[in-house]
Structure 1
Amino acid sequence: MRNILASVLCGLVLVVGCKKKEKEAPPAPPPTTDPVGSAGSAATGSGSATGSAATTGWQLGAGEMYFGGKGTGTNLVDWKLEDGSIVQLGIITTGKSAEGRDEGMLRAYRDGAPAYDVGPRYSLDSSKNHWAELKTVPNNRVLFRYGAEYEGRDARNAVLLRWDADAKRVVVAKRWTGTFKDAEPTWLTTGTYTATPNTEAENDCMKVVAKMVACEKDEKFRVAMFARAKEADRPAMQTHFDTHIASWRTGPEAKKQCQRWASDEYVDTHFAEPGKLKNLAEDTKLTCDQFAREVVDDGGLPVAMTDAHAKQ
């Protein structure tokens, strides 16, 4: 999952999950078969939807538009909360990057408060068939999918959103990234994430932790581990990482950390996938810097729930 969510590494507690692999259906096709850059054609789920920009609680800024060019049921939805109030969500395109990639973000609005942007920005290869869509799912959640049809570990991305009643805003509950051929985990469409204890995955998790402990003093390892972080965030990230490494040197603490990483405390789940854990744990030929790059490519240093929400 190359470059996935590198901007949110600042939470800095390394997630290596330990949940039992879920039963998955064959890989699903991308949400849209429409032409490149189209808004898509997937269903919007149980929430009501609106395609009229005039009904939203925000004004589009200069250079902004809805993904695909206009508001539709897949890029603009009304999400009815448990208290009966409505949150409007829209996928906004801000234009192209210097490399020609389509870029944008998810915007939210609830009556009586200013509109705000939610979660990670998306960046999609406009030369490939690509998509972005919103869909309401059970458990009072909304699924935000985006991706492109290409050979890469971050071809498909999904963010499960929830309403934080205390903060009075939409926040990220969980996020997932995979290749174009990967099947999405079932919790994305059920709206409920559960981690079942998995002894084999937990053991692989502890091997990965042990490898990090062994490599912590290697300068190339440290450079590779934090290379994609924002320069201003890097010192704090390294200090936080060093603090945790000190406790991971003992088996019991490493095991506790693996169990926490597989819990609902974290928004990231990529190290909760047994296959990825096993690949990292069993590839003994990797040098420390190669190992660090593999960790980063598989999602980096995933973020604790509290840190992710503080960042939004």
Structure 2
Amino acid sequence: MEIKKVMVVGAGQMGSGIAQVCAQSGYDVLLNDMNKDALEKGMNRIEKLLSRSVEKERMTAEDKEATMSRLTPSSDLSDAKDCDIVIEAVIEDMNIKQSVFQQLDKVAPPHAILASNTSSLPITEICAVTNRPEKVIGMHFMNPVPVMKLVEVIRGLQTSDETYKAVEEMSKKLNKTSVEVNDFPGFVANRVLMPMINEAIYTVYEGVASVEDVDTVMKLGMNHPMGPLTLADFIGLDTCLYIMEVLHEGLGDSKYRPCPLLRKYVSAGWLGRKSGRGFYTYE
């Protein structure tokens, strides 16, 4: 099948980023959010990022206008009625995601693919609440979406080869590199990344080294672009904790136990950049 029209559900940082790259790649895009303030912020975020690209001469003003013309705000899921694919990017909560997919299953056309941008939740469980499990798949984009080249494409137990190939082809058109991943907790990216971040937090918790020194070791010793604790603040410590809990529960191995210091920071509301305080303090 050929994908022409896309809906992205959720106008947060990830959803707006996905909508932006889809529109830049020539797709007609509906950016959907029930919260009209969030929807307006999402559209403004895209416009601001595109304007910055024009200022830096990465794209022309004409290309920016063409991209914006392909973007339409939506606050009603029934607008998916003529879309070829819907990409869900709402909060990482299985009940909320399943509710969204149940609604989309009723309103999207029979041929439409339903994709989830979940970073850790089982695709098979999301598939199960629809009447089209063969057309449900995971598309885990990396943050920030316009910059990062990777998409993890996750097959649920019943995802068809046709669905996988259509999403793989779409990923190429988005100028992304896709990797095929089977449906296990955390997939590949977060199953590898989050335990590393968690272990870095343990080294601070146990007094092995300071926050700054742990990050310096990983930047200068392992050639990482940023240290794991800086990265944790960027991702959000609440998100890190949630994914570690998914890994711990899903795989049942004590090596995925979240560090008590991570729990303490989240309980204190120290969530990283978005709250102004995490392992570092932000103005």
TM-score in terms of structure 2 length: 0.27
Higher relative contact order (CA 8 A, sep 6+): 1
Bigger proportion of residues as strand: 1
Bigger proportion of residues as helix: 2
